[in-house]
A = this chain, B = another copy of it.
């Protein structure tokens, strides 16, 4: 859709994709491992997806969650589909650490600590390998 950020931009470095959605590494400075799962087609709400498509994107969201747990061993995982500013279905998949800038607040809440160092680029390689392994399997 014209003027929609996620119709016009990948939204980060693509770690995995198929013909319906993509997992991107979003390079958010305060939460450098934040990934997003973005539905390719312009749809505003999860409730607007057909059940089979809804199940598909959730399978990818939970694979991204699992991959981040495997690669980074975070203290907590956060998942969110908001889209108030960009009403195009996308999920924030956010590994949280006790010393991250906002913990235990949501990443949209009050900032309590300094911005951390960026992740090394090897993160993307590890995530790609882990996602490929998880999403080849059924279930």
Contact = CB atoms under 8 A, between A and B. Distances in A.
What class of interface size applies to chain A in its complex with B?
A: 20 to 34
Interface string A66-85: 10010000001111111111
Contacts of A62: 46-47, 54
Contacts of A85: 104
Interface of A: 44-47, 51, 54-55, 58, 62, 65-66, 69, 76-85, 87, 96, 103-106, 108-109, 139
Nearest to A104: B84
15 contacts: A45-B69, A47-B69, A51-B139, A54-B62, A58-B58, A76-B82, A76-B84, A76-B87, A78-B80, A79-B82, A80-B80, A84-B96, A84-B105, A84-B106, A105-B108
Nearest to A70: B47
Contacts of A47: 62, 65-66, 69, 77
A45 B77 contact: yes
